[in-house]
Amino acid sequence: MQIIAERIKEVRTENKLSQVEFGKLLAVSQDTVSLWENGKSFPSLEYVIVICKNFHISSDYLLGLSEY
């Protein structure tokens, strides 16, 4: 499951967003974003969908099932 954490951080940093800014886009706290990026918790399906739609990526990519 570490790949999800890495991909979330990658999406955030490639879009030049802080954890606070990323969290605001998703209506979650900076602490939640940090937990996701450190693999200590994982986004619900609802947030996976929101991330994918907002950043125009596939859920397969975010979940580590494909390379793009």
Structural domains in the chain plus CATH codes: 2-62 (1.10.260.40)
State the pTM of this model.
Answer: 0.93
Q: What helix, strand, coil percent values describe the chain, rounded to 5? A: 65, 0, 35
pLDDT digits (tens, 9 = 90+) for 36-63: 999 999 999 999 999 999 999 999 999 9
% of the chain exceeding 90 in pLDDT: 96
pLDDT digits (tens, 9 = 90+) for 4-26: 999 999 999 999 999 999 999 99
Q: What is the DSSP letter of 63?
A: T
Distance CA 53, CA 56 (A): 5
- Tokens 């937990």: give the residue: 35
